[in-house]
Amino acid sequence: MMRLSRRQFTALGLAATVATAVPVPAFALTGAQAQALVDRAVADINAIISSGGTEAQMVRQFKDVFDDYAHTAAIAASALGVAGRSASNAQRSAFVDAFGLYLANKYGRRFREFEGGEIIVQRTVPVNNYMEVQTIADLPGQAPFRVDFHVYDRPGRPVFFNLIVEGVNLLVSERQEIGAMLDQRGGNLDRLIADLRAMG
Amino acid sequence: MPLPFGIRKALSTACAIFALGAVAACTPAPPGGGLDDPYEATNRDVHEFNKSLDRAVLRPLGQVAAATPREFTGPVSNFADNTGLPGMVLNGMLQGDIGGAATNTMRFLLNTTIGVGGLLDPAGGIGLYEESTDFGETLAVWGVQEGAFIELPVLGPSTERDAAGQIVDFVLDPLARVGTRPQIEYGLAARGARIVIDRGQFMQTVDGLLYDSADSYSQARSAYLQNRRFDLGEAPPVEETVIDPFALDLEGFE
């Protein structure tokens, strides 16, 4: 199933060409491993959605999925951005924990909109130093749309560190959102951590 | 009641000229696909207005739509989508995208006939999906700059280029020439209903973006620009899209 426009296709082709032409560090992670990770994550997410549990139960299960399949530490570090530089190690580790709860709560609720739909893996493309697993989300009543998982093996196992839904980038959105939340709290990281925990 | 051809044509021409004038006045895009928002203060006011409109009208209607079985909402969505296809065919041709125009033509013909006037989507069943496009994309193909970000009342996030495109698409919609009678009469109403149905289907995501985020204006702006540039094959709006995952300092985070 292919529904890339010609221009998108050219852009992808270019990206792939650049990825192969520019010398990159040898991949420890293969495309097949990256794809297998996404397949397992999607299966787990689908199982949670169809389990019919309460919202609170689902959020806890989504947190487990994030812990297993996503590099929460890197997503958290990226979201905190420059504000993380002056943070103590204790604050950093508390932030990762609270941020994981916040992510599971936020995206877990959104995944429920995938109920009755399916995510079909299309292909895996090496980009710079990670793998992009391109999938199509097919939801009832909607034209199919692109969801890409960015996968690497930095923590020693395959994990995804970014999710791109029709071009909308999780790392970009969360860096901006966490920045705005921190601004609202006068830059007080401890207050932000406590509030994220309460939201999760 | 469709407008008499003469008046329609005069209106169309006037609007097209207005739109092109507006586009010519577009501010040049910042280098590197950055963010261009000189009207931020006004945009934020409009955003608050749009949110109150959503709270009062669209969201409650979306809740009703979400509680309505898909047997009823599905055909309305299909019908609405189908009425948008002639405009997409025209834009595809203006862009020189013959493949896209052909796909959308096939889709329109199949769904309008076998698909019971557009209520069903047999074309989607055989993998013939909509090649979504609009006059904003046509302008982009023609080399018109994106211009500044603007949040339009009721219609939501846009850019100078896309706003001009929306006007042209509305006025030059070829549906009036090629559509069936029900398509011409109910097309607009169905497209309105489709907005409500989509609001219902993506209730959590939209609510999260509008009401749970710390700065919903920035989130909406960012999501719109990222998505739009992705659709048009343009550079992503923020440099961070090329965040190097191996370069992040994770000391203390893990």
CA distance B11 to chain A (A): 32
pLDDT of amino acid A116: 76
Residues of B in contact with A11 (CB under 8 A): 233
How much is the ipTM here?
0.80
Lowest mean per-residue pLDDT among A87-91, A140-144, B11-15 = B11-15
pLDDT at residue A118 tops 90: no
Distance (Å, rounded) from C-alpha A12 to C-alpha A23? 18
CA distance A62 to A79: 19
Better-scored residue on pLDDT, B219 or A22:
B219
Please tell me the predicted confidence (pLDDT) of residue A24. 46
pLDDT confidence tier of residue A117, bands split at 50, 70 and 90: confident
Q: Which residues contact B134 (CB under 8 A, 6 or more apart)?
A: B87, B88, B91, B162, B165, B166, B169
pTM: 0.83
pLDDT at B25: 47
- Distance set, CA A189 to CA A99, A130, B18, B59 (Å): 12, 31, 50, 33
Determine which of A151, A154, A176 to mutate to test the interface with B (most B C-beta atoms within 10 Å). Answer: A176
Q: How many domains does chain B have?
A: 1
B201 touches chain A (CB under 8 A): yes
- DSSP bridge partners of B58: none
Contacts of residue A150, defined as CB under 8 A and 6 or more positions apart, other chains included, come to A127, A130, A131, A132, A133, A160, A161, A162, A163, A164, B245
Split at pLDDT 50, 70, 90, the class of A17 is very low
Q: Does B6 touch chain A (CB under 8 A)?
A: no
pLDDT higher than 80, residue A18: no
pLDDT at A200: 65
- CB contacts of A76 in chain B (<8 Å) are 253
pLDDT digits (tens, 9 = 90+) for B168-204: 999 999 999 999 999 999 999 999 999 999 999 999 8
What residues make up the domain containing B111?
5-253
Are the Cβ atoms of B227 and A166 closer than 8 angstroms?
yes
**Would you place residue A55 in the very low, low, confident or very high pLDDT band (cuts 50, 70, 90)?**
confident
Below-70 pLDDT ranges, chain B: 1-34, 237-243
Sheet order of strands, A118-127 included = A118-127, A130-138, A145-152, A159-165, A168-169
Q: What is the pLDDT of residue A113?
A: 77
Identify the closest residue of chain A to B233 by CA–CA distance: A8
